[in-house]
Amino acid sequence: MLEKNTTEYESAVLIGVITQLQDEEQSKEYLDELEFLTYTAGGEVLKRFTQKLEHPNPKTFINSGKLETVRQFIEEHEVGSAIFDDELSPAQQKNLERILKCKVVDRTYLILDIFAQRATTSYARTQVELAQYEYLLPRLVGLWTHLERQRGGIGMRGPGETEIETDRRIVRDKISLLKNKIKKIDKQMEVQRGNRGQLVRVALVGYTNVGKSTLMNTISKSEVFAENKLFATLDTTVRKVVIRNLPFLLTDTVGFIRKLPTQLVESFKSTLDEVREADLLLHVVDISHHNFEEHIASVNQILDEIDSADKPSIMVFNKIDAYEPETIDEDDLDTEKTTKHNTLEDWKKTWMNRTEYGSLFISALNKDNFDELRKTVYNAVREIHVTRFPYNSFLYPEYDDDFNEQQ
């Protein structure tokens, strides 16, 4: 079983590329996110390196000149890790480790490492372990280079090849064992979900670190672990919540992220099943993040992949207390007004107000606009409940401010 490790504080450099598919602004945004991931994993970023390329170098990801600059910096400052913004092929990783003479980590492995740190339940650890083994399998050759028996032919037959084959077999056996274990747990969780009766299920979805767990704590008055780091939540938490006299189930799920490793989407299938089986989604967005629209697109893409894009959903724009639009001076005639200059009132007049249930602008931390949130959620849950049980609709009247709170 995967042991819970605490990562030591170590120095790192970040390396990204600017390509036709990823312009300079996007590349900076991805590296900002990568720096936050590094900080979450327990690292400190000393420097960033970017290079403009038509496409990444198939051998070393970046070209030789830039690679030499990175190597010199790593040698001078005794850097522990070189972290790359995209997934590296096994060959690229092997070449880079040989040249840079330090630990080479890609975005995928960094996310897996954070998941391994954060996994607390047996189920989450099993899922992470499976994803790590699947990532490791094609990279086993690189771990056995000290035996120098990889090429085959005259004088190259011997224990190296046998060792690597043995290791591959062990890893494959471990993968199939973990898959069987996950299948068993999936069945148990399916039974658990079936035992929850006829209550309406509401799931919190959204990008990582947008405040889903804080919102969960505030609505359900429970104590779910929340922290200003990426992937603070890995285990699905379900709580029974009552607004007025209407009970429903609220689920806190793992946050999504751009370039999410495919191994993780597959291993966290059961966690995503909670979203798939929900009746209503609360799509939480960090409006104070300057690129929140791209976050919405990323979440919608993953929801589409798990056939949940057409579910009724309420857009909840969180962290309004931290939102600060860019300003234009009155005498500045050159700067063109863009969405970055929008105030909250401007945003409310855009597409945000044309969603099925409208959009909510709240602060989960300070409980701003919480009455509006409760009212909207109550009405949406009531609508689903009344459709399902039309004969007891009189039990749950329309949301009225004079109604005596029953909490």
Residue 181 structure tokens: 């274990």
Rounded Cα distance, 171 and 252, in Å: 32
Q: Cα angle vertex 234, ends 27, 88, to 5°? A: 35
The dihedrals phi and psi of 242, each to the nearest 5 degrees, come to -125, 120
pLDDT of 271: 64
Q: Do the strands 81-84 and 246-252 form a parallel or antiparallel pair, or are they unpaired?
A: unpaired
64 membership: H or E segment, kind and range: helix 64-77
pLDDT of 1: 47
pLDDT of 262: 65
- How long is the chain? 407
CA distances from residue 149 to 96, 99, 154 in whole angstroms, order as listed: 20, 21, 11
pLDDT of 195: 62
User: Which strand ranges, in their side-by-side order, compose the sheet holding 103-106?
Assistant: 43-52, 10-18, 81-84, 103-106
- If DSSP codes are grouped into helix, strand and coil, which group holds residue 146? helix
Q: Inter-axis angle of helices 159-194 and 269-276, to 10 degrees?
A: 20
Of 256, 235, 222, the residue nearest 189 (C-alpha): 235
- If DSSP codes are grouped into helix, strand and coil, which group holds residue 290? coil
CA torsion 345→351→354→360, rounded to 10°?
-50
Q: Taking the complete model, does pTM exceed 0.75, yes or no?
A: no
Residues of the chain with pLDDT below 50 are 1, 7, 146-153, 155-156, 401-402, 405-407
pLDDT of 144: 52
Q: In 3-state terms, the chain is what percent helix, strand and coil (to 5)?
A: 45, 15, 35
pLDDT of 63: 87
pLDDT of 303: 82
The answer to whether residues 318 and 367 touch, using CB atoms and an 8 Å cutoff, is: no
